[in-house]
A and B are shown apart, each in its own frame.
Chain A
Amino acid sequence: MAETQYAIEMLNITKKFPGIIANDNITLQLKKGEIHALLGENGAGKSTLMSVLFGLYQPEEGVIKKNGQVVSIKDPNDANDLGIGMVHQHFKLVECFTVLDNIIMGVEPTKHGFLQKKEAREKVLALSEKYGLQVDPDALIEDITVGMQQRTEILKMLYRDNEILIFDEPTAVLTPQEIEELMQIMKNLAAEGKSILFISHKLAEIMAVADRCSVLRKGKYIGTVETKNTTMEELSAMMVGRNVNFHVEKKPSTPGDVVLDVKGMTVASKVHKNNAVKNVSLQVRRGEIVCIAGIDGNGQTEFVYGLTGLEPLVSGSIALCGQDITHASIRKRSTSGMSHIPEDRHKHGLVLDYTLEDNMVLQRYFEPEFTSKAGFLKRGPIREYAEKLIEQYDVRSGQGPVTIARSMSGGNQQKAIVAREIDKDPELLVAVQPTRGLDVGAIEYIHKQLVAQRDAGKAVLLVSLELDEVMDVPDRILVMYEGEIVGELDPKKTTQEELGLYMAGAKRDEVSP
């Protein structure tokens, strides 16, 4: 038999969970030395497929072959032994260790029980030169940029002589310039004979870097295409099963009264002594979507915490519809008309071990509609309300209102939160990265909801890291850099390049609120 051209093959994989077939007869063949993109909506089965590859799940049907040989992967150690490595979306690094320590962790070279870091350092430096992965081996992880942290993760795989490299949504946390660099690194790796599996939602990146692309939809394998023979439109239609509108359709905005008025807000940082948010002033009016853009970690999170009451302000004031809420409790802000789609749906947005219906009333359970005067929950109305929201916002789950939130897919968890927050009928909707980790279909849906809120005369404050979202959705863009607003841009007049310069701190205006 001739030598196979495939580094790894997953053939006819089927994996079922109670009530759902997560992978239905999926075939994925990764050629040696290629960059292969894996595209699919949330809940399409990408994570399950990768868990099967790493031995976290055993498939009911199907085989995995490496270089044409059937292999059995029972746990992640088996996967490591086969030379499969992964850069996770959320890095698995020890913050207080150096880059070098993180790279060698678990496979430390030792002699008589003592660490032999010198050898390790030489190997790491050689690798970093060979593939153009610039890192400072002695820097602590907590001090380096996200881009360098990612390069450390890549070096970790290379140090273990992994041949098959999996990148799970690697660009989500990077600046446009860093994304460029990463693309180049991936190409270098492929040129050196590594096989790369690139999991992404971002069609432009797939078109730019991948050789081939396999598409999954609702657990089923749709097909594999050569990127040079396809278009973004075709890919997205394969992924969603219909044609998707990339552009958010919206009428010109007609801003009305000021709903949110923030003056001189300063918020302390949890991680360093400086303030994370410095003297920020901004206004959001009825009928407009204002977007705070910026690279992750420039104070957006703290700004939202200050705004929604999760963290106290050092100084400044907040007014909602003319009412001062600087010192109001979170509950008071919520009942005064502020809705908040939080950045981290698992940390803040949901009680994961509660049912979907209990999560649907998380912001309203205390209202007379859901709690009797004696303090008992009204189960009947809660169920009805949850069913109404599930229906209206098309939240899909295994068992409807009684599904445990933890068992739902990320996209549907997010839809549940969006449903809950929008249905509160707020004056101000604060949406923080509302589409993070979601597929094109869900993103389109959520963007429509935001625009609908705007058109209904609500004020919408969007915080986003996604350039496409920043350019497409809002009526005004405010760029945040190191805790300050450094520019106000009109999305119709600016370009991604200009935006990138503001986000990277290379350009700034004096902005008057």
Chain B
Amino acid sequence: MKKNIWKNPAVQALVASLICIVLGLLIGYIVLLFINPSGAGEAIVSVVKNFLNYSKTNLRLKNLGNTLVKTAPLLMCSLSVLFAYKVGLFNIGAAGQFVVGSCACLISSLGWGWSWLPCLLFTVLVGAVYGAIVGLLKSYCNVNEVISGIMLNWIGLYTTNMILNTVKEPTSPYTLHMASEAPQALLPSLGMAKLFSGNKYVTIAVPLAIILAVVIMVLLDKTKLGYELKATGNNKNAAKYAGMAEKRNIILTLAIAGALAALGGAFLYQTDYEQWSVTQSSVPGMGFNGIAAAFLGGLHPVGAIFSSYFIQHITNGGAYVDLTKYSSQISDLISSIIIYLCGFVLFIKYAMNKSIAKREEKQAQQGKLASDTEKGGGGK
């Protein structure tokens, strides 16, 4: 029997993700048509083109760099989500862990004058502890990780605002510029900036995030720890029966997930690309986008690298929409429609499997008809 390549899970994941992307662009286009038909095509093209909207190579590289700067933290958040998901946990708390990570790196650099490496390590520690709280509540008090995760997102946000109030600029709600106030805490560029025609925001965060994606993949697939964690996620009872410390595993998983998301915060703010606004009253979307990126990437660490880049590509591309034809929120709207559709990967996979099954059934029926006529000759 011929193997059906559509049944290969990797192919399915890829195709499902691509269908989501196309659907997202299509719906985005339709929305633009409703708002202002004259510029819709042009707008969607400029979103997709992102840095290619520039004609000069050095400007293209510089703006590609800007997309990459924000891809690194998104990738960290999506790794955090998918790692927990493999262990059967839904880490919606990644958003809050990203926030406390941002807080940890900003206060340790701007407030205490630490240099970049201690800042990173401190961030990892804080994120791990913050994630572990969810794990402790889950394993010892049976509190659902989604509930406690959402609560901790808000606790994290306001605590961060309060703490970072001490290192903000006197005249604005933003934290101090790291480049001028705490240059020792900036992540080293290691020549990365040169690659992107002097974009000083591109740092080791980008390669580091990719390396961490590979580390997570190896951890899940090749190690004893990954074997235990996935067993716990798949069947808690069997894990317990096999003598695994299933409570410890849940806590450990969320601690690792927390550390990953928190590192995302450091990867963004230790480049000085953005500053934290201490008056913000909603949890930054980075952690939530991480959920979309994780699913769009087929819940695979390598897939997450590409999906994170894509989502950030679209988000940055939104800035190139012609603002004389559309209001300034349109870029966010388009990218959020696409991100929203990205969450449909599992649904598309399901639909694909169903249609394969249907087609096979049809073929079987036809095959049966054919063999029936053949048999007719033999007679029985």
Contact = CB atoms under 8 A, between A and B. Distances in A.
Contacts of B367: 60
Contacts of A329: 243
Given A60-B368, A377-B222, A354 B241 contact: no
A359 to B, nearest CB: 9
A61 B368 contact: yes
A60 B239 CA distance: 39
A365 B235 CA distance: 16
Contacts of B239: 351
A16 B360 CA distance: 11
Nearest to B365: A60
A349 B225 CA distance: 20
Nearest to B241: A348
B325 interface: no
Nearest to B368: A61
Given A334-B243, A347-B237, A348-B241, A375 B364 contact: no
Nearest to B7: A18
B194 interface: no
Nearest to A379: B222
A352 B234 CA distance: 8
B58 interface: no
B227 A330 contact: no
B361 interface: yes
B234 A376 contact: no
B359 interface: no
Nearest to B218: A376
B242 interface: yes
A340 interface: yes
B234 A330 contact: no
Contacts of B225: 375
B224 A363 contact: no
Contacts of A61: 368
B178 to A, nearest CB: 37
A371 B224 contact: yes
A353 interface: yes
B224 A375 contact: yes
A330 B240 contact: yes
Contacts of A350: 235, 238
B231 interface: yes
A401 interface: no
Contacts of A376: 222-224
Contacts of A379: 222
Contacts of B231: 351, 354, 362
B222 A363 contact: no
A366 interface: yes
Contacts of A331: 243-244
A96 to B, nearest CB: 20
Interface string B215-228: 00000001111010
Interface residues of A, number: 32
Contacts of B243: 329-334, 363
**Which of B237, B238, B361 gathers the greatest number of chain A CB atoms within 10 Å?**
B238
Given A61-B368, A329-B243, A330-B243, A365 B224 contact: yes
A342 interface: yes
A310 interface: yes
A342 B242 CA distance: 11
B241 A375 contact: no
A279 interface: no
Nearest to B231: A351
A110 B238 CA distance: 45
A358 interface: yes
A403 interface: no
Given A348-B237, A351-B234, A363 B368 contact: no
Nearest to B221: A377
Contacts of A348: 237-238, 240-241
Interface string B20-57: 00000000000000000000000000000000000000
Contacts of A72: none
A310 B223 contact: no
B307 to A, nearest CB: 23
A379 B224 CA distance: 11
Interface string A342-383: 100001111111100010001101100001000111010000
A333 B243 CA distance: 9
A184 to B, nearest CB: 38
Contacts of B235: 347, 350-353
A310 B244 CA distance: 11
A476 B45 CA distance: 80
Interface in B344-380: 361, 364-365, 367-368
Contact of B234 (A353, A375, A377): A353
Nearest to A333: B243
A331 B230 CA distance: 18
Interface in B199-228: 222-225, 227
Nearest to A350: B238
Contacts of A330: 240-243
Contacts of B234: 351-354
Given A351-B231, A351-B234, A354-B231, A366 B224 contact: yes
Contacts of A333: 243
Nearest to A374: B223
A58 interface: yes
Interface in B107-155: none
A420 to B, nearest CB: 10
Nearest to A15: B364
B227 A377 contact: yes
A354 B237 CA distance: 14
Contact of A377 (B224, B238, B361): B224
Interface in A314-344: 329-334, 340, 342
A311 B231 CA distance: 20
B227 A365 contact: yes
A363 B242 contact: yes
Contacts of B240: 310, 330, 348
A389 B239 CA distance: 21
Given A61-B368, A331-B243, A377-B222, A347 B227 contact: no
Nearest to B4: A18
A111 to B, nearest CB: 39
B7 to A, nearest CB: 9
Given A331-B243, A358-B227, A347 B222 contact: no
B238 A362 contact: yes
Interface in B231-266: 231, 234-235, 237-244
Contacts of A340: 241
A362 B235 CA distance: 12
Nearest to B363: A60
**Top 8 A-B residue pairs of the complex, sorted by shortest distance between their CB atoms:** A331-B243, A348-B241, A330-B243, A60-B364, A371-B224, A362-B242, A351-B235, A351-B234
Given A350-B238, A363-B243, A377-B224, 12 more contacts: A60-B364, A60-B367, A331-B244, A333-B243, A342-B241, A351-B234, A351-B239, A352-B234, A354-B230, A358-B227, A362-B231, A371-B224
28 contacts: A16-B364, A60-B364, A60-B365, A60-B367, A60-B368, A308-B241, A310-B240, A310-B241, A330-B240, A330-B242, A331-B244, A332-B243, A340-B241, A342-B241, A347-B235, A347-B237, A348-B238, A348-B240, A348-B241, A351-B235, A351-B239, A362-B231, A366-B224, A375-B224, A376-B222, A376-B223, A376-B224, A377-B223
